[in-house]
Amino acid sequence: MSSNDSGFSNTCIYCPSIGPFTAEHVIPAGLGGDDRRFMLRGMVCKRCNTTIFSPLEREFLRKTPAALGRIFLQPEGRRRGKTSNPPKLEARSKVLIAPEGYPVEIELGSRAQPIVLPQMVLIGERDGQTTGSDEMLLREYVESARTLLAATVTCVRNEPVEGVRSLLATTYTWGPDGYERGETRSVSEPPLQSIWNIILEPNEDGSEPSSRARMFRRENGQIVLRVTEKLGVERALTFFRKVLEQSNFEVMAARDIQNPPVRFDMSFQLDVIGRLIAKIGINLLAYLVGSDYVKHPEFQKIKRAILTGDPEIQLLPTEQKASIANIFSGLPITQHGFIIVAKPGPFRTCSLAVVTRLYGSLIEMISLGENLPWPDLPNHTFFAVDYQMHRIERYEMLDFVRAFPFRFTARGDAANEASAI
């Protein structure tokens, strides 16, 4: 099969499915691929594409070290028609430290610009502060909070029950001394009128976190109460209700904080990085050589790892990445780099690997297989992805060096290092 962006295959290149098939981006649109060029059509089934690859890409783009580079450097995520959204960072919490020293909940806008969510923050034992970046959203938040903090409040939280994540809903009733805790029940979905409850975790030494209780409104309209175990939900709800009752919100002023310290609390699955980059490598080979080539039995192990995470795809240790980084030394920070590397073996066989640099710093090399038939390709095939313009260009070695001249380093000529991979 010739190398192009079509070429119907009778089965999916990743699994035995005979379809239906969907168009697959060779390089994910969220990383800068576009919807017109470098597409696989008739090669990837709908199940692999939508139920496995879409969540994998979302995890990679929002919850890995690449996500940090993406929110600072990439102005747009995937384009849908004429609209696009700025990249997102998913984390357990995102806060900035206000000049007064207390944390406030934020989201990150284009170029990682902090946006203070509408919220109330407990300061000290008795004082509260209402804040937000947008005055209209702040007013909407106050009205929503007043509606929710009624005679009866329902708070929902995630909590393991016998090792299984479960949603628990607890009712709190207003009494003479404030809110009192009522019954707790399991629910399949959060009630429509409810507050999402998150308990601030203790520090590593077991001490209480210094973060203050806060009740904020997420961009999707959900009201969240973040509170320490010591303070308790009842006291926090009581405090914020009294703030609403005793404060005059006729005049509200939103504010932005210049150059604030920002803190993220996030974790990620390490195997997501290897699986996503390996998938791009297989996609590139399918695009360059055709679907029949990537159906070779020697690719089954890596494809199983991409689909399931088992076996774990090994990433190169940090100390071994310096020479690889030099290959991309001439590539602008606004472009990703990908290389398909073929290393000769006996009897016209080869080992294949994909090497990448993302957002100027994330360097990885993933083995795709050994004892493979030699593909109809040069030893090194380069791809440069302008993720700001959503444009991909393919280069052979000499063309790549002319377009992006390697820089010399203390370790030697980067071009020689590229040839030695």
87 vs 276: CA distance, rounded Å:
18
Cβ contact 217:115 at 8 Å: no
Between 180 and 212, the more confident residue is: 180
* pLDDT (tens digit per residue) in 34-64: 888 899 999 999 999 999 999 999 999 999 9
Task: Please report whether residue 138 resides in a domain.
Answer: yes
Task: Please report whether residue 4 resides in a domain.
Answer: no
The pair of structure tokens assigned to 250 is: 């006729």
Q: What is residue 79's predicted lDDT score, i.e. its pLDDT?
A: 63
* pLDDT (tens digit per residue) in 287-307: 999 999 999 999 999 999 999
Cβ contact 354:340 at 8 Å: yes
Do 178 and 284 fall into the same domain? no
Which segments of 310-407 are extended strands (E)?
335-344, 349-358, 362-373, 380-386, 391-396
Task: Please report whether residue 327 resides in a domain.
Answer: yes
Q: What is residue 112's predicted lDDT score, i.e. its pLDDT?
A: 82
Q: Inform me whether the pLDDT recorded for 264 exceeds 90.
A: no
Rg of the chain (C-alpha set): 26
* Side-chain half-sphere exposure of 292, counting CA atoms within 13 A: 7
Q: What is residue 411's predicted lDDT score, i.e. its pLDDT?
A: 46
| pLDDT level of residue 208 (50, 70, 90 thresholds) | low
Count up the domains in the chain and report the number.
Answer: 2
Task: Please report whether residue 57 resides in a domain.
Answer: no
Q: What is residue 86's predicted lDDT score, i.e. its pLDDT?
A: 80
The pair of structure tokens assigned to 51 is: 């139920």
Q: Inform me whether the pLDDT recorded for 318 exceeds 80.
A: no
Could you tell me the residue range of the domain that residue 192 belongs to?
93-265
Q: What is residue 207's predicted lDDT score, i.e. its pLDDT?
A: 62
Domain boundary among 249, 265, 281: 265
328 vs 407: CA distance, rounded Å:
9
215 vs 212: CA distance, rounded Å:
10
Cβ contact 75:111 at 8 Å: yes
Task: Please report whether residue 299 resides in a domain.
Answer: yes
Do 307 and 249 fall into the same domain? no
Do 136 and 195 fall into the same domain? yes
141 vs 223: CA distance, rounded Å:
8
341 vs 354: CA distance, rounded Å:
6
Q: Inform me whether the pLDDT recorded for 91 exceeds 50.
A: yes
Do 138 and 283 fall into the same domain? no
Domain boundary among 233, 265, 297: 265
Task: Please report whether residue 2 resides in a domain.
Answer: no
Do 321 and 247 fall into the same domain? no
Contacting residues for 258 by C-beta, under 8 A, at least 6 apart: none
The pair of structure tokens assigned to 378 is: 């040069």
Q: What is residue 416's predicted lDDT score, i.e. its pLDDT?
A: 47
Task: Please report whether residue 101 resides in a domain.
Answer: yes
388 vs 123: CA distance, rounded Å:
41
| pLDDT level of residue 263 (50, 70, 90 thresholds) | confident
